[in-house]
């Protein structure tokens, strides 16, 4: 028990961390190019923030939140997603008073008490971006383009972008009623979750994965035929901007998404080869959310990508992320005074921006050469008592396999010129 991480969580080990930080760097660089700025919000928030924004009737709020009372009896929740916190910060720091849009991105752990399986964890990590203050369909296209560019930079080109419009508070209630009217007679054929969705949010019945529910919903007309004229035009414009940016897409009229704050655009990026947890990322527009959280009406649009799923997808297509390991110097020493001088030398190298390592176990030269190999050293410096006395050091090139003796005092300069 003590030596096992809690169910649904995992360690990201050395070797994996390099891949993670490579993906983070891709995302950070892209966001910079798109003029999105990083925000870091707390890991926990007031529970009410999520119940109000994500929606009381969603699975996330109803079943999956890590909620607890702190010692002051406040109800707090480990964030299950990043949008609500970003909206809260947008309001708290009066970002609406700046020139709009406000474009933000984030990266970090999220928590959902979900049933763990491949690609589904209780602590997982999202890369996300949110743009506030513009209802323009251009910014929907921009946000989708940013997400797709990220996948492209990670080497995932076989993904499918599914898009839909979920309407707005003007046209959605009518469609909801229409669904209820049509499904009334089949109510008992629905799964237990969908039977309660029938009351609370019948739209979500449309994207239930259970076969019985799928069959029943075949009779429901598409939401796209029930949108008001504003929503029809907005959706058409988003699609046209996607075409302009040469982004392939598939309209999926059943796409609803599991969070209640969406209006108009909803989208998901899916890896069809990935089994049941195939959604690598998703997002959409949420023009009512800032108001729900206590601000004045402010449109918004964003997405989040699940990093664990990106890595799973890369693994499935046997793609390796290209990242360069930092070349490293290994200082092999023989004897106590050489070892002390070696410690001084690795410190000097490190302070000059050169990655360096030495032995601390008093190992034999042969063992130290093996260790140099293990740490991926491109060059090894060998310092024995004899060299130390002469003020020299041996510089061995591990790739070429040759070595030469150089002045100890000049070694830093030589390495700087070489690397
Ligand atoms: P979401 O669809 O709930 O949207 O999550 C986005 C992504 O996070 C999913 O596509 C998936 O890759 C990953 N994800 C979700 N749950 C898990 C889990 N249990 N284990 C591993 N990965 C998971 C949101 O969270 C919205 N906040 C997105 C958004 C931003 N909409 C507008 N702005």
For the Cβ of 309 lying below 6 angstroms from any atom of ligand 1, the answer is yes
Q: What is the pLDDT of residue 361?
A: 94
Angle between helices 16-33 and 137-154 (to 10 degrees): 150
CA of 138 to the centre of ligand 1 (A): 23
Q: What is the pLDDT of residue 144?
A: 98
The SS3 of residue 355 is: strand
Which ligand 1 atom is the nearest neighbour of the CA of 280? 12
CA of 218 to the centre of ligand 1 (A): 27
- pLDDT block averages, 10 residues each, the chain of length 419: 94 94 96 96 98 94 97 98 98 97 98 95 98 98 97 93 97 94 91 91 89 90 95 98 97 93 98 88 98 97 98 89 78 96 96 94 96 92 96 95 96 91
pTM above 0.85? yes
Q: Going by CATH, does the domain composed of 17-169+227-317 fall within 3.40.50.720?
A: no
Cis-peptide into 101, omega within 30 deg: yes
CATH code linked to domain 329-418: 3.40.50.800
Q: What is the pLDDT of residue 274?
A: 85
For the Cβ of 81 lying below 6 angstroms from any atom of ligand 1, the answer is yes
For the Cβ of 178 lying below 6 angstroms from any atom of ligand 1, the answer is no
Q: What is the pLDDT of residue 1?
A: 79
Which ligand 1 atom is the nearest neighbour of the CA of 119? 21
CA of 336 to the centre of ligand 1 (A): 55
Placement of tokens 């891709």 in the chain: 26
Domain ranges of the chain: 17-169+227-317, 172-224, 329-418
Burial class (CB in 10 A: 0-12, 13-18, 19+), 366: exposed
Which ligand 1 atom is the nearest neighbour of the CA of 82? 27
**Residue among 154, 288, 306 to mutate when testing ligand 1 (max atoms within 8 A of CB):** 306
Residue of the CA atom closest to atom 25 of ligand 1: 81
For the Cβ of 258 lying below 6 angstroms from any atom of ligand 1, the answer is yes
Query: How many Å apart are CA 410 and CA 256, to the nearest integer?
Result: 66
**Contact of 251 with 163, CB cutoff 8 Å:** yes
By DSSP bridging, strand 102-111 and strand 328-333 are unpaired
């Amino acid at each position: 028990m003590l030596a096992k991480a809690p169910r649904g969580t995992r360690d990201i080990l050395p070797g994996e961390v390099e891949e993670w930080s490579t993906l983070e760097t891709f995302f950070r660089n892209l966001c910079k190019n798109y003029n999105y700025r990083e925000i870091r919000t707390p890991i926990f928030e007031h529970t009410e923030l999520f119940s109000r924004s994500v929606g009381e009737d969603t699975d996330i709020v109803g079943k999956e939140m890590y909620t607890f009372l702190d010692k002051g009896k406040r109800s707090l929740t480990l964030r299950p997603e990043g949008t609500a916190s970003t909206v809260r910060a947008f309001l708290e720091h009066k970002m609406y008073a700046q020139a709009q849009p406000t474009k933000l991105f984030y990266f970090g752990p999220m928590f959902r008490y979900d049933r763990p399986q491949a690609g589904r964890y209780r602590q997982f990590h999202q890369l996300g971006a949110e743009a506030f203050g513009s209802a323009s369909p251009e910014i929907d296209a921009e946000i989708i383009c940013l997400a797709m560019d990220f996948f492209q930079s990670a080497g995932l080109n076989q993904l499918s972008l599914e898009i839909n419009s979920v309407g707005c508070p003007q046209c959605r209630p009518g469609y909801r009623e229409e669904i209820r009217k049509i499904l009334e007679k089949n109510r008992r054929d629905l799964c237990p979750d969908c039977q309660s969705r029938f009351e609370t949010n019948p739209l979500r019945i449309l994207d239930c994965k259970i076969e019985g529910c799928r069959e029943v919903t075949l009779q429901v007309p598409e939401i796209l035929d029930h949108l008001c004229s504003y929503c029809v035009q907005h959706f058409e414009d988003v699609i046209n901007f996607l075409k302009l940016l040469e982004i392939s897409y598939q309209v999926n009229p059943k796409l609803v998404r599991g969070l209640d704050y969406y209006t108009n655009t909803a989208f998901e990026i899916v890896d069809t080869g990935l089994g049941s947890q195939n959604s690598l990322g998703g997002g959409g527009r949420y023009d009512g959310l800032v108001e729900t959280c206590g601000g004045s009406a402010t449109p918004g649009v964003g997405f989040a990508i699940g990093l664990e799923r990106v890595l799973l997808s890369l693994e499935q297509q046997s793609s390796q992320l290209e990242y360069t390991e930092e070349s490293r110097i290994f200082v092999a020493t023989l004897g106590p005074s050489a070892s002390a001088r070696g410690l001084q030398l690795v410190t000097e190298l490190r302070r000059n921006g050169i990655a360096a390592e030495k032995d601390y176990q008093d190992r034999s030269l042969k063992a130290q050469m093996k260790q140099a190999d293990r740490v991926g050293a491109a060059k090894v410096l060998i310092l024995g008592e004899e060299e130390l006395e002469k003020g020299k050091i041996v510089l061995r090139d591990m790739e070429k396999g040759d070595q030469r003796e150089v002045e100890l005092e000049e070694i830093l300069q030589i390495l700087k010129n070489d690397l």
